[in-house]
Structure 1
């Protein structure tokens, strides 16, 4: 049988009973021309074909894991006073425990994102989250501030994997038209965790002797719960790895008399080491060469860092100037939490609009997601200016607390919408794209608390808060810019989704959307079709290559 011929391979006859499907794989099954394994139309090992219940349970699990690491970033801040006293250290050194933890958030994804694209989401998650669990013991039983700070940094690095890999898992399981709410919940946890931390931590710190250590035990317990559930219930979702495993299984079941290879392996021409180095460099490459990633990183970073600056601002405004207790200071974050929940409740509005566009046009461009981000861009500075000029002790505290509603609404809408936009735009590259965003936002979030207390001391509550508001104003044009010119920007990228309507911005509808790499493959295949003697089997092989995006520089 010639290389170009196609042999029919029935999955149900060669694989476990979970595959009661039939499919025709291209190839002849020889070592030189193996059967090419890809997903089928109704392939229930494809994460996107799992039951909705299973996908939602897994979405909630990875979102809870994300909430947990974010919760630990701020619950620590509620016991800084007693911690400083018990460990005989300064408040400045105690504050450093917040910054180094968030700094770890920025560094970890640079390693975990490329590893997940080589070895899968589950393996990397368990390998990083298990030591994250143990590092909380440094605060729970540590005898000096050095131990606390070092283990806080290591916990931030190890716990950062959900910040990018969870987004990749959601992208693996949900199609673009179905992932709006899932992305909203995942992104909400990134912000909801830091806000809920001071509420819980504040009451624990003031209710128990050495309550700040109990906060670390709470972090330890929540992390242990995540590891336990994930070990037994979290499956692999990364399609290239799943297809590779299927190919190995089919080949083994044939007694190695037939050869199988996944579509991703066929298009891969580099070693694992080269791929790792490539994937390790990609977040920085994106920041340097992709305007969409750079602007999104800076804008999301501003929103995220401003939230962490509030962990310094609120104790000053409500504790130092209004004489609230630790528990009462924690309750002032309820305004922000209410705004975040409003953002979550409103997510079906954007989702329905997106689905309507898909039903109307068949497929739409990613820019159609940006309406919520535009609302958030306005709400964020409104909330900041509101807080700034109602922060005086002579003004009722409830007025400044209510300012957290537009602030919380704005931060969530900006982050969730832009995260979904990046997932749609960069598809299989989304883990690296999200790693770039997490890196920038974490660097900013680590820096803002360090100079915030000095700003409030030098400028006063009103003007110090206004500085953050003016920075937020500078970012307002970003989602509007993407909405109008996002298609044109994507058309210049070899990694981003590319459609025939890109020059029309959000007015386009995205029929025939592909990446530039896919477009090049299609042009090449079109030229090959004109060659004399090419048969139907080779055409089918080309079609496989045309429809898959793989990580490439």
Structure 2
């Protein structure tokens, strides 16, 4: 071991090791996979800080040496703090025994998701976005159908609001399972199980016999719907490198806002058509079923360490040699310990990373504000302007259009700027290069909230507050594009777990804000309520400016984040 303050984990590269100690079943030069790299003994100096896996290595594997590939494979499968804190894991990872062949990706390996065709990766991006659109659409859909639902079950206003809040509360529970488990057994199994449960629970909502059953089914539906919300973003990190992922994320980030915006519109159209409220959940069931079939048919495993486990198993089966091991297989522990690691990882990360906490609180406030508008808009447009359900649903369209504007703004303004920064840093742009979008988005959000509030008088033409939705959608998507990418860039080795803890807190805000939103806008009136919210938004505006300046210094002291 190295005498440095961090445990050493740099593999010695003995290029002759394969010929010195080959598998008896695979002789060198006779179809020996170049990705099967023997772990030599003694391995006494793995520098985890210097060798932490990053996307730039994945995007140019043909430039990696065998040493770099071995080091990347271990560090991608096992975050640095877990190697530091677990001596047994460290011992297994550096593997002092000679007879172990570490399986990694070959140069230009077709099994490596980052080497798949660009067309297919874009398909997976749109498919992942559709899964998130599905889940987020279900979250807000009942808001446009509340009157008939409340009438059928004889609900109070609070109980009606809980059909939205409890679904979002499910988002707080689901990520504990879906995200960290995906880092152990893969994304695809989680998508299959998660969407099947989500599909069944939409049917259950449609046939719910009473209020309690409907609320329980909505909560459980949110737990299962949290699967795409936490894992779809990680899929983008699996298949795209730094420079390309930004454009993919721009498309993806629109989904969490397109879904909630579409929910009230569809529900309002159904209510105006005088169809049964059950049809809302039947539509959600059909949509979920189609997406589940799409997952089964066309979405493969994308998580590199799990693909390498499958590759190692195939090599062991074809050769009969048990020495082929993927990095994720190096530490065999009991089920209880593995479960504890899976469930505890998101919060171990969250509570030791103050930067992640602050960014999460910023995103959570914005997310809660978005869901509060689903109850504030009816106060302004139904009570104030006399709109019906369909007309009220249409008022959410500008939020979606504003989100589309943000995507184009990213693709044609911010992405080229980021590309220049990346090229100036040899393809390794610092995470802080993602923050300019948030620096613009924060002030635009505050201005839009003032605009919406102080033009919400019934005697002012309804188009004026409606158009404020363009600024709301533009700012929210800019903020999420910026901060979402920043989290992935800064915490890439544990991106799914970092996003999971962030999603839990964000969803708690989304669940809580609707509970007081309607009362807040009715009691304070829309002008004062919007002013209070805009003032809170102004207090958060400096956050991306602070992290742009101090982020690199903070990341150098980070346990889980990338220091470079």
TM range (shorter): 0.7 to 0.9
Per mean C-alpha deviation after superposition, the further-off stretch among 243-252 and 285-294 is 285-294
Q: Which residue of 2 aligns with 1:6?
A: 17
For 1:110, the equivalent position in structure 2 comes to 176
Partner of 1:172: 238
Please state whether the residue corresponding to 1:36 is helix, strand or coil: strand
Cα distance between partner residues in 2 of 1:275 and 1:176: 30
Equivalent of residue 225 in structure 2, options 148, 156, 159: 159
Q: Aligned residue for 1:207?
A: 273
- Indicate whether 1:143 and 2:154 are aligned: no
Structure 1: give runs of 5+ residues left out of the alignment: 500-553
8 Å CA contact 2:349, 2:560 repeated in 1: no
Structure 2 matches for 1:75-86, cutoff 5 A? 75-86=141-152
- CA shift for structure 1 position 48: 0.7
Q: How far apart in 1 are the matches of 2:462 and 2:32?
A: 63
Aligned partner (choices 358, 362, 370) of residue 307 of structure 1: 370
Unaligned runs of 5+ in 2: 1-12, 42-94
Q: Is the 8 A contact 1:14 1:250 kept in 2?
A: no
Give the Cα–Cα distance (whole angstroms) in 1 for the partners of residues 255 and 462 of structure 2. Answer: 27
The offset of 1:334, in angstroms, is 1.5
For 2:196 and 2:329, how far apart are their aligned partners in 1? 30
Q: Is the 8 A contact 2:379 2:522 kept in 1?
A: no
Q: Show CA shifts across 1:471-491 (max 9, x none).
A: 211111111111111111111
Structure 2 equivalent of residue 441 of structure 1? 506
What is the TM-score of this pair, normalised by structure 2? 0.83
The answer to whether the Cα contact below 8 Å between 1:7 and 1:28 also exists between their aligned partners in 2 is no
Residue deviations 1:164-188 (CA, integer Å, cap 9, x gap): 1111111111111110011122221
**Partner SS state of residue 325, structure 2:** strand
Superposition map of 1:330-369 within 5 A: 330-348=393-411, 349-362=413-426, 363-369=428-434
1:142 is paired with a residue of what secondary structure?
coil
Q: Equivalent residue for 2:82?
A: none
SS of residue paired to 1:138: helix
- Is the 2:36–2:104 Cα contact (8 Å) retained in structure 1? no
Offset at residue 144 of structure 1 (A): 1.7
Q: Which residue of 1 aligns with 2:360?
A: 297
CA contact (8 A) 1:94 1:145 kept: no
- CA-CA distance at 1:417 after TM superposition: 1.3
Q: Is the 8 A contact 1:367 1:483 kept in 2?
A: yes
Alignment correspondent of 2:45: none
Two-structure CA RMSD over aligned residues (Å):
2.3
Q: 2-side partners of 1:28 and 1:491: how far apart?
A: 30
Structure 1: distance between partners of 2:371 and 2:434? 27
Relative to 1, partners in 2 of residues 1:328 and 1:490: Cα closer, same or farther, differing over 3 Å? same
TM-score (norm 1): 0.85
Contact 1:80 1:91 in 2 (8 A): no
Equivalent-residue separation in structure 2 for 1:322 and 1:372 (angstroms): 34
Does structure 2 retain, via aligned residues, the 8 Å contact 1:389–1:462?
yes
| DSSP-derived class of the 2:102 partner | strand
Matched, 1:134 2:197: no
Distance 2:280 2:172 in 1: 23
User: Residue in 2 aligned with 1:551?
Assistant: none
1:5-39 alpha-carbon deviations (Å, 9 max, x no partner): 5116999x979xxx997456234899852211112
Task: Mark the CA change 1:440 to 1:385 in structure 2 (over 3 Å): closer, same or farther.
Answer: same
**1:430 and 2:441 correspond:** no
Distance (Å, rounded) in 1 between the aligned partners of 2:351 and 2:40: 43
Give the aligned partner of residue 93 of structure 1: 159
User: How many equivalent residue pairs?
Assistant: 490
Q: Structure 1: which 4+ aligned runs deviate by more than 4 Å?
A: 8-11, 19-24, 27-32, 269-272
SS in structure 1 of the partner of residue 429 of structure 2: coil
What secondary structure, in the 3-state scheme, does the structure 1 residue paired with 2:538 have? helix
Equivalent residue of 1:39, what SS?
coil
Give the alignment partner of residue 102 of structure 2, picking from 36, 60, 70: 36
Query: C-alpha offsets along residues 61-118 of structure 1, whole Å, 9 cap, x if unaligned?
Result: 1110001010011111111001111222223211110000001011110121111111
- Which secondary structure state, in structure 2, belongs to the residue aligned with residue 136 of structure 1? helix
> CA 1:23–1:287 in structure 2 vs 1: closer, same or farther (change >3 Å)?
closer
Contact 1:118 1:276 in 2 (8 A): no
Moved more, 107-116 or 25-34: 25-34
1:283 equivalenced with 2:346 (yes/no): yes
Distance 1:427 1:272, change over 3 A: farther
1:324 aligns with 2:387: yes
1:156–1:364 distance in 2 versus 1, CA, 3 Å? same
1:26 maps to: 38
